Structure 1
Amino acid sequence: MVEFYIGTVDEMLQSTLISAFPIALLIWMMTKQRALPSHIALPITALLVGLIQLFYFHSDGRLLGANIISGVLSVLTPISIVAGAILLNRVLAISGAEAVIGRWLDSISNNKVAQLMIIGWAFAFMLEGASGFGTPAAIAAPMLVGLGFQPIKVAIFALIMNSVPVSFGAVGTPIWFGFEALALSPSDLLEVANQTALINAVAALLIPILALKFVVSGSLIRQNLVFILLSILSCTLPYYALANWNYEFPSLLGGAVGLMMNIFLAKANIGLHTTQNTLNKQTKVPSREVFFALLPLGLLIVILIVTRISPLGIKGLLTSTNAWLGIDIGGSHLGVSQSLVVSLENILSTSVSWSYKTLYVPALIPFVLVVLISIPLLNLSKTQVKEAFFETGQRIQLPLVSLAAALVMVNLMMLGAEQSPIFLIANAFATLTGDSWSLFAALLGALGSFFSGSATVSNLTFGGIQQTIAAQVGLPVNLVLALQSVGAAMGNMVCINNIIAVSAILGIHHKEGFILKKTILPLLVYGGVAALMAIVLS
């Protein structure tokens, strides 16, 4: 039995309950009958966590302030990505390119299931492998809305779908960087990747089907089940095969192979219900129109891939931390590197720091860059350009508040190292489950993603504690780390940050709690599959 003592057992229990209370309150506020919108519920929660840290845990005021500043500054990363995605979406919509893409996809197949699987599964799978940072939902979700699907249903669908590929998102960052501090051997890291891919691939036989149920009827799913299964396997088989020898490219190449196979299967009408998949030959879209409409998205993908594969050398140029400018502000140091990495170190004379990779975060490059190229390419007028920028500014105002509050809350929940609220909650899980921990390990990974909005951060935060628990109770360490990685991926579907982001991109207002309630069930199913696979693999 694993036990983590902080003072007496009663003190530990009290501290754990107090730590968990703000999260329980947040979930209640956002899911109750008259739910509070996230831009109200999250600031309240962040304030409560701050008060608990100050008056119950007696955290240092300066350290508390530094984490609040870091949290507020950290909002620049997600909000700039969201703004870039919205801007590109508005440019495509206003120019008419979105309508052309919709007609082209309709000409491939007007079967709704085929459209959802091509864009929401295979295309998003590839995007996650290239970039991560929430870009799959940011790009794929508006395309599906453009095809006539309801925004709220698309938001739920996109969040659930963007889980399986996340373990190897952004060229495998959650694996190779997320577990970097654990000093794993190359063979151990590859075993973690392989088992992660296997568990995710098994879960993938159910998760896309659950996601589809939020958008189309059960009868439509049954009628097209063969296509759905072929679509799933066309991504997950190469994904798993690649994970046997590499942990950077499973999602990227698995998604690319899957996308090509999906288009082929849809065009050949394989596995699709024939009466619902009559090809619209009479409405075939001219190739030139399709080319120019898809060109911005093609540029986006190419730039994402080129800037994220280290051997090409461009990634290093965009992320260099070699100092260019620097200035001391009180006890803090504000610096700008040669690659425009902006950093604030030793905030309020503490060890807390913040940085923003201006050229690497997928905002200016590729979103804004592609928008600037697309303006003459799609013949947008000055009035249309102003409209796109104005609508983008309008849409990000409330998400800015929500995301800032969420990031402050996350920083404060992690403050205190092994006596932080987040670690107390994690330790309580471990103490309760003991040597049955492998059945619940994935849920801790999901908890990390729920808080932080990042599978990488979840692995960084909980990788060490998962490794320690596994060693103490005699479980296979690599298997438990794989379950952590799987959990971090599946937690993507309930992450508050992701829910806020996709809602902002689709123009959905005050429905974050509703979306959260809908994505919890698929999360639990995913966790159940992970638990069963843990039994099989151990």
Structure 2
Amino acid sequence: MNTLLSGLPILLLIWVMTKRNAMPSHIALPVTALLIALIQLFLFQADLSLLGANVMAGILSVSTPISIVAGAILLNRMLFFSGAETVLSQWLKGVSTNKVAQLMIIGWAFAFMIEGASGFGTPAAIAAPILVGLGFPIIPVAIFVLVMNSVPVSFGAVGTPIWFGLSGLSLSDVQFIEISQLTALLNSIAALVIPFIALRFLLGWQEIRQNAGFILLSVLCCTIPYVLLAQWNYEFPALIGGAVGLVFSVVLAKKGVGLHSQIDMSLPDKPVKTWEVVKVFLPFVLLIAILIVTRVPQWGVKDLLNTMSPLWTWRFGETEFEVSRALVFSLKSILGTEVSWQYKSLYVPAMIPFLIVSLLCIPLFAMSRTRVVSAFRDTGRRLFLPMLSLMGALVMVNLMMQGGNDAPMLLLAQAFAGLLGDSWGYAAALLGALGSFFSGSATVSNLTFGGIQLSIAEQVGLPVTLVLALQSAGAAMGNMVCINNIIAVSTILGVANQEGFIIKRTIVPMLAYALVAALFSVVSLAFL
């Protein structure tokens, strides 16, 4: 009975978000969190102080992902209102008139890099309008960018799905690196298939086959550095992999390497000046440079931004509020419990680098006050509903993990383990995809199901790092069918009431991805 009650809120959440008149995530997730709180309080006899502490910690924890989202959206809006996106579109026409080259440069390599820097649906939001501006049909473009925006997602927003999404599982640094390695390898194998399927929504098979050499080279230009970086780091694989892949894809396209022919498409009205192109890419270069400087431990900046040396401490009751010299805000012993919260304001990639780079765009593009105000206003308008969704998800996760050995998440893990046993590797990625589907975020998927995946792995004797890598890759492939992302891309492109149609198309490549993940688990178990 306890297991049934533990799974009831999750089942209800899935149902209300997938039925014909689906409930939006900003309502469904908070309502689910409230239902779990009531179950904990009245059926599991949860300690009221602990319940309140977990709710507080969940609400406060939204500061990390929502501040990253805010920074990413602000940069996106600055580029839009400054006209930088238009310049980028004109420049690309001058690089190559081959459709495959244009789609791979923007829809694959460029989106790969943007996902590594910002994530949270930003790549599709930036790539889709550029491709439509190049003359590609709207709905196929929406499907294409959704399918392409999957492989880099596990390491999106400077690795947020891993370092934040799995942060509550008490994993060692060695385990985090192993998860990074396995996830990158799995995603890179899937990348040998997914771009070809994605291109089919816009092009015929003959055209794809004729340009298969370039497609494969463009894929490898991103995934090789992606895999190499993942051997020792889980923040930069997508960011650096995408940047390297973008440069090489452009060079290959200009030389026509692997391209069958230059297919005639309209050229820009006038050549784009080199300085204009440099200006468009300068914010991304600065973004990458600042992230590298602040993330490489050997340079010492990372330690400075994470120092916990107290600057100011304030106690109220049994709870302690502390601010460190690096402006790390902490709440310890919330309501007298062991629950705590922390926000690293200088290390979380919100102010540094997103806000800094966004503000530098003002003089760089000589933006008027009206355009700057529009960018900030548009950013604020887009934040409220995602904040509610993330808040509900984080509270839900905290409450699902409350209760020690009788925690709802642990009870669900035991049920799943008993159902599939050591065959769980076949389904692990699908659970991750399910999390992204209803929550709209790979990070939230990892937060929601990471604990379940960990418990299942321990109970059935599967390698923890492999199962969590399958979860991480599954959360990435779930981006293809994520309702929130589909609505976001459709809204940007002016498409109405096509969500169901798009999901029916994107679920096919997602299942192909899931098959790759299942085979990967079988092969990995033979070596681990």
Report the TM-score when normalising by structure 2: 0.83
Q: Which residue is equivalent to 1:122?
A: 109
Deviations along 1:392-445, one digit per CA (max 9) or x if unpaired, are: 222222222222222222222222233222222222221111232333344455
Residue aligning to 1:297: 284
Give the conservation status (yes or no) of the 8 Å contact 2:149–2:480.
Answer: no
Indicate if the aligned counterparts of 2:362 and 2:372 stay in contact, CA closer than 8 A.
Answer: yes
In 2 relative to 1, CA 517–18 (structure 1 residues): closer, same or farther, beyond 3 Å?
Answer: farther
In the other structure, the counterpart of 2:404 is 417
Amino acid of the structure 2 residue aligned with 1:138: T
- Select between 489-498 and 261-270 the one with higher mean Cα deviation: 489-498
Alpha carbons 2:307, 2:326 under 8 Å: kept:
yes
User: Which residue does the alignment assign to 2:470?
Assistant: 486
Q: CA deviation at 1:140?
A: 5.8
Kindly indicate whether residue 525 of structure 2 is the aligned counterpart of residue 530 of structure 1: no
Distance 1:183 1:77 in 2: 21
Task: Evaluate the alpha carbon distance shift between residue 403 and residue 457 of structure 1 in structure 2; reply closer, same or farther with a 3 A threshold.
Answer: closer
Structure 2 equivalent of residue 134 of structure 1 = 119
- Tell me how far 1:54 sits from its aligned partner: 1.8
Q: 1:108 to 1:422 in 2, by over 3 A?
A: farther
Structure 1 range deviating more: 507-516 or 221-230: 507-516
Mapping of residues 279-294 of structure 1, within 5 Å: 280=267, 283-294=270-281
Matching residue's letter, 1:80: S
Separation in 2 of the partners of 1:147 and 1:347?
49
Structure 1 residues 283 and 270: CA distance shift in structure 2, 3 A: farther
Aligned to 1:366: 353
Q: Does 1:97 align with 2:84?
A: yes
Residue 128 of structure 1 and its aligned partner are, at CA, apart by: 5.1
Letter in 2 for 1:134: G
Match status 1:237 vs 2:220? no
Aligned residues: 514
**Distance apart, 1:274 and its partner CA:** 2.6
Name the residue aligned to 1:16.
3
Task: Say if 2:144 is the partner of 1:144.
Answer: no
Q: Aligned in 2, Cα 1:140/1:459: closer, same or farther, shift over 3 Å? A: same
Determine if the alignment matches structure 1 residue 30 to structure 2 residue 17: yes
Paired position in structure 1 for 2:52: 65
Q: Any unmatched runs of 5+ in structure 1?
A: 1-13
Q: Quote how far apart the aligned CAs of 1:482 are.
A: 2.4
Q: How much has 1:126 moved relative to structure 2?
A: 4.0
User: What code does the residue aligned with 1:461 have?
Assistant: G
Structure 1 residue aligned with 2:375: 388
- 1:199-218 equivalence runs, <5 A: 199-212=186-199
Q: Give the equivalent residue in structure 2 for 1:3.
A: none
Q: What is the 5 A alignment of 1:131-530?
A: 131=117, 134=119, 137-139=121-123, 141-148=125-132, 157-158=144-145, 160-167=147-154, 181=170, 194-212=181-199, 221=208, 224-240=211-227, 250-272=237-259, 274=261, 276=263, 280=267, 283-443=270-430, 453-454=442-443, 457=447, 461=451, 464-465=454-455, 467-469=457-459, 471=461, 477=463, 481-494=465-478, 500=484, 521-530=508-517
Aligned equivalents of 1:71, 1:352: Cα separation in 2: 10
Q: TM-score, normalised by structure 1?
A: 0.82
Q: How far does residue 456 in structure 1 lie from its aligned partner after superposition? A: 6.7
User: Offset at 1:169?
Assistant: 5.7
One-letter amino acid matched to 1:70: A
Deviation at 1:287, TM superposition (A): 0.8
Moved more, 424-433 or 279-288: 279-288
Deviates more, 1:355-364 or 1:399-408: 399-408
SS at match of 1:141: helix
Deviation at 1:485, TM superposition (A): 0.9
Secondary structure in 1 aligned to 2:321? Answer: strand
Contact 1:141 1:506 in 2 (8 A): no
Check the 8 A contact 1:300/1:367 in 2, yes or no.
yes
Whole-angstrom distance in 1 between the partners of 2:119 and 2:497: 19
Any conservation in 2 of the 1:345–1:352 contact (CA below 8 Å)?
Answer: yes
Q: In structure 1, which of residues 58, 72, 87 is the aligned counterpart of residue 74 of structure 2?
A: 87
CA-CA distance at 1:145 after TM superposition: 1.9
3-state secondary structure, aligned to 2:21: coil
Partner SS, residue 323 of structure 2: strand
